[in-house]
Amino acid sequence: MLRIISGHLKSQWYIYVIEVVVVIVGILIAFNLEQWGEVRNVKKREIEILKEFKRSLSADLEEVQGNISLHEYSILSSKIILKVIEDRLPYDDSLDACFSYTHAFTTFSGRVGPIEQLKNTNLAIISNDQLRLEIISMYDEVYPRIRLVEIAIKRDYEQLRDFDRLYFEAYDFDRESTHKDIPTPLWGVMRPIDFSGLVENPEYAALLRARISNQTGLLRIHYQPGESDLSQLLNEIDQEIAKLQ
């Protein structure tokens, strides 16, 4: 009996080898398919996260650009008023928009939802190490620096408010700016009720000079480089999404 079985195995050995090989290959294929599916799901999730960052950072870029414009009008307005004070020029209603813009300040929101969500899950899901570091740097370094300097600008605004009750009427939302270079502020224009007293007050001129200095620093050192960095980061995210798809 054993001779029969042994002879059968010897004559049919290749069939059993093929069957073993087929089973092993099947296992390997199934394993590779499972691995491929996992990699595909991870890549799909990475693309979704990058798109979410793109939406959030694009909104932040739009906010930064709007804030830059606001501070530029504020700086220009302060310079116009200082010129009037230095040259002892008479009052003109075109200054009303300028007076209002000297009160401008910003509070950069910086949408942190995507980065907080990613920190709570797994930062390494962004496979491009350099891109991941640049995204983290934007939220953890650039944004906090902007907000810190904005605090100084807001303090200037609060000091200017002390002049309001003495020298100005309330904001007028219904009047339009008559200055050719200064648009109407969203919060209205300001008409002085004691123009001569205002321009003769040295503290007012000193405060405007301080605002110009602080706002110029905010723009040149933080906002304008931040705008450039955001634009570059969005471009890199677009390239990474295209590579992953």
The end-to-end CA distance of the chain, in Å, is: 63
- Which pLDDT does position 42 carry in this prediction? 72
Supply φ then ψ for residue 143, to 5 degrees. Answer: -60, -50
Tens digit of pLDDT at every position of the chain (245 positions) = 555 555 554 555 556 556 656 666 666 555 554 555 555 677 888 899 999 999 999 999 999 999 999 999 999 999 999 999 999 999 999 999 999 999 999 999 988 888 887 777 777 788 899 999 999 999 999 999 999 999 988 888 888 888 888 899 989 999 999 999 999 999 999 999 999 999 999 999 999 999 999 999 999 999 999 999 999 999 999 999 999 98
- Which pLDDT does position 20 carry in this prediction? 59
* Spatial CA neighbour of 57 closest among 234, 205, 226: 234
Provide the residue range defining the domain that includes 92. 2-244
- Which pLDDT does position 128 carry in this prediction? 92
Residue-wise pLDDT tens digits, 40-78: 677 888 899 999 999 999 999 999 999 999 999 999 999
Supply φ then ψ for residue 168, to 5 degrees. Answer: -130, 155
List the structure tokens of 101.
Answer: 């813009």
Count of domains for the chain: 1
Q: Give me the residues paired with residue 172 across strands.
A: 189
- Which pLDDT does position 135 carry in this prediction? 93
pTM of the model: 0.82
* Spatial CA neighbour of 98 closest among 160, 152, 146: 160
* Residue 88: count of CB within 10 angstroms of its CB: 9
How far out from the chain centre does Cα 35 lie? 36
List the structure tokens of 64.
Answer: 């930064």
